[in-house]
Amino acid sequence: MANVAVVGAQWGDEGKGKIVDWLSERADVVVRFQGGHNAGHTLVVGDVTYKLSLLPSGVVRSGKLSMIGNGVVVDPWALVDEIERLNGLGLAITPDSLKIADNATLILPLHVELDQAREVARGEQKIGTTGRGIGPAYEDKVGRRAVRLCDLANRDTLGRRVDSLLLHHDALRRGLGEPPIDREALIEALLAIAPKVLPYADCVWQQLDVARQIGRRVLYEGAQGIMLDVDHGTYPYVTSSNTVAGQAAAGSGTGPRSLDTVLGIAKAYTTRVGSGPFPTELEDEIGQLLGERGHEFGTVTGRRRRCGWFDAVLVRQAVKVAGIDGIAFTKLDVLDGLEELKICTGYRIDGRDLDYLPADDGQQARAEPRYESVEGWQESTRGARSWADLPAAAVKYVRRVEELIGAPVHLLSTSPERDDTILVRDPFAG
């Protein structure tokens, strides 16, 4: 049986939570490999709704081992809050069921403060971050001055790490008109949270190696989407980590040959949160309708998502960049009742026709979508669990999407409920 990496094929918010939860029933281990608690997943299980932002989606499944890899930046206070909240909903999250890479970088309060201060200083040029310190934490990781989870176990080591960190951050804060960090207060706060998070610390790469040797099926869970990748996305309106499938290996401590299948998640339309180019954005009644029907509000921030027609150019680009083998197509039911649907098949930029989105952000902002029209359907697709339950026009829409993006649909989701999923091909079958 194959190991599967799941990545978003648009700008995030594609419904990865439900798909990963659905797939986790077939997996033994679920691993988060990048991002932080800026990415939200909503899972509906029976009458209970679970909102996750840092923990892998596998935590809602009993008997599954969940892991947070070294590619994730971890806010220890947010982690503890999320664990306690989910335990209060009846889930048993313990050090036996959750392992966190001991070399994972920590998000500290000073990262949150810097993130928010920078957004204020940018004014109208703000990127639209969640303000949760993700970017500054990754900067410190690359700058080799970060505090890591393992550092909490030794006060002397922690003190040296904090001194290195403050040498950089106090200078930044002076430039932003902020007071210096209270060193002792920060160290004491970290030592106070340490007993609550250190029991989860483990050598994740080694745990994964053991899982591979005994034939366990591993599900690698990404956050955000390919078009928010720091290299391949709509830079600078991107996240601070690589979101492509290759990061699943680097961000968990395993080799690329461990990734047998890459499953991309894409909505039947397009959404985006925050600033940045969005060629197919609809600022009319249809855009508002998609947002209302799709409940397009961020799980983490509550911000309203921008909505538009399905952009086959972007998803095709994501398929190529991330090596996507198949797509999980979500929220098809949101399109029910629309007489006509449009699919973006190319762009016109400065008088030229392009079949990809160029790297230059100025050209991205000037991209005009070229559409083809597709017949809509009046019947309901919500809750459909087989192709036979779908209207002919809905099937035709899905088939046309497959042709345009160059990848087959492996899963089709027709509601937030776990079981309202049409399985075309099992990703774990390889």
Q: How far apart are CA 392 and CA 351, in angstroms?
A: 37
- Token pair listed for 240: 């601070």
Q: Which of 55, 145, 166, 167 is nearest to 100 (CA)?
A: 55
Q: How far apart are CA 330 and CA 315, in angstroms?
A: 13
User: 96 in helix, strand or coil?
Assistant: coil
CB 110 within 8 A of CB 140: no
Task: Tell me, yes or no, if 41 is annotated catalytic.
Answer: yes
Catalytic residue among 13, 75, 325, 420, which? 13
What is the C-alpha radius of gyration for the chain, rounded to an integer number of angstroms? Answer: 22
Q: How far apart are CA 160 and CA 183, in angstroms?
A: 11
Residue type, 28: D
Catalytic residue among 37, 41, 111, 410, which? 41
Q: How far apart are the first and last CA of the chain?
A: 6
CB 43 within 8 A of CB 58: no
β partners of residue 44: 49, 417
Continuous H helices in 269-389: 285-293, 312-322, 361-365
What secondary structure letter does DSSP report for 29? E
What are the CA-CA distances from residue 261 to residues 2, 10, 64, 138, 424 (Å)? 7, 18, 20, 28, 15
Q: How far apart are CA 11 and CA 298, in angstroms?
A: 12
Task: Tell me, yes or no, if 333 is annotated catalytic.
Answer: no
Q: Which of 300, 411, 290, 333 is nearest to 20 (CA)?
A: 411
- Token pair listed for 248: 């699943």
Q: What angle do CA 130, 133, 137 make, to 5 degrees?
A: 140
Q: Which of 170, 323, 162, 304 is nearest to 245 (CA)?
A: 323
Q: How far apart are CA 79 and CA 21, in angstroms?
A: 19
What residue has token string 């911000």? 303
- Cα dihedral angle (407, 410, 416, 417), rounded to 10 degrees? 180
Which residue numbers are catalytic?
13, 41
